[in-house]
Chains A and B, each alone.
Chain A
């Protein structure tokens, strides 16, 4: 294990700045330069009372902003909505992505074309996707309801009950390709032997999938889900383009909430406080759930 340190240097320079830290320098330099000030500023903001339309009132207020934020029912609604959105969207993306990956792996004809087509939704900027679906799902003017009506179905996509789900489905349309990509890659690099062994043992396709394939893909599933979930937490454009948080507060998400407070009501400190509560919460969840499974100092 300590072989890694085989060159732990004799010269004082290398002692002070070991090789590994020198490799870190570019990243640390860039991150400090671009992030140190903004992060510090936003933290500082959250302890003050900055309101652009009341410049005279700026002062240090300690945790007051946090208290104000936590007392707002809309904050909790936004939090709940966002977590529901993430849970629904990412789960669906995972299931569909897996199904697609498995299907694509076995596909023989038109491989590259299919894969290329299926990847494209990722490359459309989210606001365009939001506006696209706003009109596609529009009951009177959209193609989708027209087709559904021919089948006799009438769905109010943006009703109080369904709006959040509809937005999640839009997210699924856009981001399942990402999941599919990750999982397909994971699949293509799995060893054949366990699968052959399972087949010899008489397992059918489904059992092989569940008991052999998926467990072996756990690491990549974890990475994909984590990246996707962190991104989904920041859902904003779909809400902004279609529902503006409505009906009522049904699609009020955290990002939209923060944006409204900061840019709509000019209360920058409050917006910063909301942001930091989210950061703390999510970091806590991440750390608690992943601490054990992540590698630390010991290999």
Chain B
């Protein structure tokens, strides 16, 4: 018994040490970023300098440059993408899963769009946005994001629906519901946590994209990644400003993930993707 307890303690320490190591590995780059955001140009020249007189210039400049606007735009694009994705993808995932629409072809075909590189898809999208006179606005950016978020999130959702037993629906139908009612009242609530997880996943994909937002969005539709990439200039990477921009993109999402991660984890597990 003692041996067991001792071994247990050992593994506990290993576990704790491992988690600490992971947290440190994640926080370490951020620490450097935080420090850099307060450094003057001279101090930035030596990124390892740890003792210095902090300045707020970088913060002032970046916020004056409209980073909040960029943040808002990224948020808008992300939410719009996720909304459309869920509205279109959920019933389709349900149909593919429960009614085997399209068979295996559908399950694989959906991923086709996922594989085509942005460099190639961006040009036709660019042309279309011109012909429709929406070039430079957020709309083509949302459409572009849909091209890679919609397939993978739908595919993701299919596995959630796979795990809902058919009997639930059957019971509802016997009780007198139409199939659509059964879907709304019985099946959907079961996958709700999964939808949440899929939504967050899709949002992250859209949040991180820089390439489409750059080419399809104009000066006025600049999302956060484009703004961040803008600090990689010819006169050198503007580390101070870029650090501020990175923090602006991370801090809110840190807070967000603090509150959401519980739902997310329950979501992916509960109701989805079991054996």
Contact = CB atoms under 8 A, between A and B. Distances in A.
Contacts of B89: 27
A23 B94 contact: yes
B124 A131 contact: no
Nearest to B23: A117
Contact of B19 (A7, A107, A186): A107
Given A4-B166, A117-B26, A117-B254, A24 B270 contact: no
B95 A20 contact: yes
A123 B19 contact: no
B18 A38 contact: no
Interface in A159-181: 173, 177, 181
Interface in B116-130: 116-121, 123-125, 127-128
Contacts of B237: 131, 134-135
Query: Most chain-B Cβ atoms within 10 A of its Cβ — which of A122, A126, A290?
Result: A122
Interface stretch (A62-70, A83-91, A244-252, A255-263): A255-263
Contact of B120 (A37, A42, A188, A294): A42
B208 interface: yes
Interface in A113-157: 113-128, 131-136, 138, 141-143, 146
B254 A128 contact: no
A35 B151 CA distance: 11
A275 interface: yes
Interface string B161-190: 010001000100100001110010000000
Interface residues of B, number: 105
A197 interface: no
A119 B234 CA distance: 33
A200 interface: no
Given A125-B249, A185-B265, A185-B268, A24 B275 contact: no
Given A7-B179, A141-B48, A223-B156, A120 B88 contact: no
B47 A142 contact: yes
B111 A230 contact: yes
A251 B180 CA distance: 51
B166 A254 contact: no
A296 B95 contact: no
B18 A103 contact: yes
B108 interface: yes
A31 B143 CA distance: 10
Nearest to A237: B210
A112 B261 contact: yes
Interface in B214-243: 224-225, 228-229, 232, 237, 239, 242
Nearest to A6: B173
B40 interface: no
Contact of B26 (A121, A146, A223, A268): A121
B98 to A, nearest CB: 7
Interface string A278-299: 1100110011001100111101
Query: Most chain-B Cβ atoms within 10 A of its Cβ — which of A7, A189, A283?
Result: A189
Nearest to B140: A34
Q: Is chain B's interface secondary structure helix, strand, loop, or mixed overall? A: helix
B134 interface: no
Nearest to B273: A220
A182 B266 CA distance: 10
Given A123-B249, A127-B228, A142-B48, A275 B273 contact: no
B60 interface: no
Contact of A258 (B100, B115, B117, B127): B117
A214 interface: no
A3 interface: yes
Nearest to A121: B26
A296 B103 contact: yes
B250 interface: yes
B204 interface: yes
B246 A188 contact: no
B271 to A, nearest CB: 9
Contacts of A123: 204, 207-208, 249-250, 253-254, 257
Question: 9 nearest interchain CB pairs?
Answer: A185-B268, A27-B92, A189-B269, A20-B99, A185-B269, A116-B258, A125-B225, A41-B124, A123-B253
Given A42-B123, A121-B26, 6 more contacts: A23-B91, A103-B19, A216-B275, A230-B115, A259-B117, A259-B119
10 contacts: A7-B178, A21-B95, A24-B92, A100-B22, A123-B257, A128-B242, A219-B273, A275-B120, A283-B108, A283-B112
Interface of B: 7, 11, 15, 18-19, 22-23, 25-30, 32-33, 46-48, 84, 87-89, 91-92, 94-96, 98-104, 107-108, 111-121, 123-125, 127-128, 143, 146-147, 150-152, 154, 156, 159, 162, 166, 170, 173, 178-180, 183, 197, 204, 207-211, 224-225, 228-229, 232, 237, 239, 242, 245-246, 249-250, 253-254, 257-258, 261-262, 264-270, 272-275
